[in-house]
A = this chain, B = another copy of it.
Amino acid sequence: MTRLPKLADLTPNITGWGFFLCTRKESRSGRSGAEYLEITLQDVSGEVRAKVFQDVETVKLEFDAGEFVKAQGRSNVYQGRLELILDRIRRVLPDRDAADGFKEDECIRCAPRPVDEMWAELTAAVASVEDPALREVLAAIIDRHADRLRVWPAARTVHHAYRSGLLEHILTMMGVLVFLGDRYGARRDLLIAGALLHDIGKLQELSYDTATDYTLEGNLVGHIVIGVGMLHEAVRDRPGIPAALVTELEHLIVSHHGELELGSPVRPMTVEAFLLSAVDDLDAKLHQVRRHLDEDDLPGRFTAVNRRLERSLLKPSTP
């Protein structure tokens, strides 16, 4: 039996095996009384829902959510989405499976750009900040949180919900903001700071190992307020940074959802804050649009309805 292609390239009616990360495993009992497993598998390129109907009693002991697995089965379209019906699945035996090509990194869904390249771009952007006190604070923040900032997802499910997704989101926004700031006469330093800081609270709002979840603090306080606390921490011992500048940075974090009903306790009141919230919304929305277009498997010119966007999308015709 052959190896399955990357999940992003999977098509219906393909049989084969592959290595994956299992990020969800639920036991369900159908109405007929029979138990089956519904699980989620991912590799570096995407994720897929999979089901096990046979030998459930035995199979379910052979792996858990959060583990790397070797799985074998057949792709199938169910209710307009691709899924895998598995014949076999077991946890990876690193020593043995290495021989067949198992590599952890290839089983974890990840941003498309290499993380080192992104990190270098972030470092360069911070170094280009003109105000020395601000530059120092931002440098300290990325230094202190480097471990998480390199790998964290930007969200649990909505957009950039994969390894290094937050970094990808920050950099895309930064590029767009610098361009727009030039057009609309905004202060470049604040835009770079805003792109970096606006979602910094997600490093504590979310837990991320191979799976992503909300922390206690994330649920009860939320990334906006957490982020302001992280900024405070960074400026505490730096008397050089003026209070009014800190307040503007806080404002950028606090207002970046744009409207109260979207979770910002204060709405944008500076040119930079208007730009930041508009670009954050744009980047998140376009990411969802692109992903929905990529993942749709329905025939016809239009996709299925996307529940979050509340609409179908037109698939671009081939060029």
Q: CA–CA, A197 to B274, complex, Å?
A: 26
CA distance A229 to B226 in the complex (A): 10
Binds B, one of A10-18, A140-148, A154-162, A174-182: A174-182
A278, CB-defined interface residue at 8 Å: yes
Q: Does A260 contact B (CB under 8 A)?
A: yes
Instruction: Chain B residues near A34: list those with CB within 8 A.
Output: 31-32
Q: Mark A11-37, 1 if CB is under 8 A from B, else 0.
A: 000000000000000001111111010
B225–A290 touching, CB < 8 Å: no
Please name all residues of chain B whose beta carbon is closer than 8 Å to the beta carbon of A232 when the two chains form the complex.
Answer: 229, 232
- In the bound complex, residues from chain B placing their C-beta under 8 Å from that of A250 are 217, 220-221, 225
Shortest beta-carbon distance from A73 to chain B in Å: 13
Q: Are B216 and A244 interface neighbours, CB within 8 A? A: yes
* Chain B residues closer than 8 Å to A221, beta-carbon distance: 228, 247, 250-251, 254, 266
In chain A, positions 253-291 with a C-beta closer than 8 Å to chain B are: 254-255, 260-267, 269-271, 274-275, 278, 281-282, 285-286, 289-290
Stoichiometry (number of copies)? 6
Q: Is A224 an interface residue (CB 8 A)?
A: yes
Partner of A271, one of B28, B228, B316: B316
Asked if residues B176 and A183 are in contact (CB atoms below 8 Å), the reply is yes
Q: Which residues of B contact A224 (CB under 8 A)?
A: 225, 265
Is A247's CB under 8 angstroms from B302's CB? no
Q: How far is the CA of A254 from the CA of B180 in the complex (A)?
A: 25
Q: Is A219 an interface residue (CB 8 A)?
A: yes
In angstroms, Cα B32 to Cα A232, docked, is 55
Check A96 for interface membership: any CB of B closer than 8 A.
Answer: no
On chain B, the residues within 8 Å of A293 by CB distance are: 271
CB distance from A301 to the nearest CB of B (A): 6
**By the criterion CB–CB under 8 Å, are A286 and B265 in contact?**
no
Residue of A78, A229, A282, A314 with most partner-chain B CB within 10 A:
A314
CA distance A255 to B266 in the complex (A): 14
Q: Is the CB of B31 within 8 A of A36?
A: yes
Partner of A32, one of B30, B183, B251, B264: B30
Give the residues in chain B near A263, CB-CB below 8 Å.
260, 265-266
Given the interface pairs A185-B290, A232-B229, A262-B260, the reply to whether A247 lies near B285 with Cβ below 8 Å is no
Chain A residues numbered 31-49 whose CB sits less than 8 Å from any CB in chain B = 31-34, 36
CB pair B275 A286 closer than 8 Å: yes
Let me know if A184 and B36 touch, CB within 8 A.
no
Say whether, besides A220-B266, A221-B254, A271 and B289 are in contact (CB < 8 Å): yes
Are A274 and B265 CB-contacts (below 8 A) given A31-B32, A53-B33?
Answer: no
Closest to A248 in B: B220
Give Cα A175–Cα B221 distance, bound, in whole angstroms: 26
- With A225-B250, A228-B229, A269-B311 given, name 6 new contacts (CB 8 A): A31-B31, A32-B34, A219-B269, A220-B250, A221-B251, A225-B228
